[in-house]
Amino acid sequence: ALYAVKVRAEAMQRASEAVPSGMLSVLGRRETNYQLACLEARKHCESLGIKDPVCTISNYLFPDGRVIAGHIQALQFLQENARKYYFVRTKMLPVSGAFHTRLMEPAVEPLAEVLKSMEIQKPLLCVYSNVDGKKYMHSKHIKKLLVKQVVSPVLWEQTMHSVYERKQGTEFPYTYEVGPGNQLGAILRKCNLKAWKQYKHVDDLEDED
């Protein structure tokens, strides 16, 4: 599994070096039209002579929380026109490429090849794919979605809805975020406040007691 991660990471790094690209964290409002913003950013890139530009949502984090990825020129255009698109806040992420977009297509084949040589069994517990927000079903399904995930947007918000879907009146499970940082808990609070009330952060440096 770690070898597959290594192959994936190196292939994605090579893909990111081929085109100046990046990722932009965006906090929007109800009026925000992300699709229109990305379309106009792509048109701006075309006006600069960039062929077949990329600018698309790569992460659905929580309501009004998105990450947009693509050509650097497109992301700069969005930052400069943030008010027009009703962006409350924008921030360039410290990454080297437009992950989870078609700019990562060169990384698909290397990952697919290494997965062919691996034996993957059906999970004993429910494991969700952030490609479609649904549970993995079997080995072939897992391999297919792991490859697709490289070039597909991360549906984190939708996955949270699937994980915490309950009949009315049913208690939510306890949720633990283990390790440094509590970003996932902050996102859960925005996606499902009732589920978040059963959330606890466990720091990696806490004493055993």
Query: Residue 150: which residues within 8 A CB-CB, separation 6 or more?
Result: 8, 12, 100, 104, 107, 108, 111
Model confidence band, residue 209 (pLDDT cutoffs 50, 70, 90): low
Tens-digit pLDDT profile for residues 6-38: 999 999 999 999 999 999 999 999 999 999 999
Tell me the residue length of the chain.
Answer: 209
DSSP string over 42-100: HHHHHHTT-SS--EEEEEEEETTEEEEEEEHHHHHHHHHTTTTTT-SEEEE-S-SS-TT
The mean per-residue pLDDT over the stretch 73-99 comes to 97
The mean per-residue pLDDT over the stretch 108-120 comes to 95
Model confidence band, residue 206 (pLDDT cutoffs 50, 70, 90): low
Does 27 share its domain with 99?
Answer: yes
Spatial separation of the C-alpha atoms in residues 157 and 21, rounded to whole Å: 24
At 10, is the secondary structure helix, strand, or coil?
helix
Q: Residue 181's pLDDT is what?
A: 87
Number of independent structural domains in the chain: 2
Does 26 share its domain with 99?
Answer: yes
Q: Which of 78, 103, 128 is the last residue of a domain?
A: 103
Average pLDDT of the chain? 95
Q: Residue 175's pLDDT is what?
A: 96
Token pair of 79 as six digits: 């930052």
Tens-digit pLDDT profile for residues 37-81: 999 999 999 999 999 999 999 999 999 999 999 999 999 999 999
- Considering the domain boundaries, does residue 108 fall inside one? no
- Considering the domain boundaries, does residue 126 fall inside one? no
- Considering the domain boundaries, does residue 10 fall inside one? no
- Considering the domain boundaries, does residue 40 fall inside one? yes
Q: Which residue has the tokens 């693509």?
A: 70
Confirm whether pTM is higher than 0.85. Answer: yes
From the CB of residue 46, how many other CB atoms can be counted at a distance below 10 Å? Answer: 12
Lowest mean pLDDT among 35-39, 83-87, 177-181: 177-181
**Residue 205 in this model has a pLDDT that exceeds 80:** no
Q: 170: domain range?
A: 166-208
- Considering the domain boundaries, does residue 139 fall inside one? no
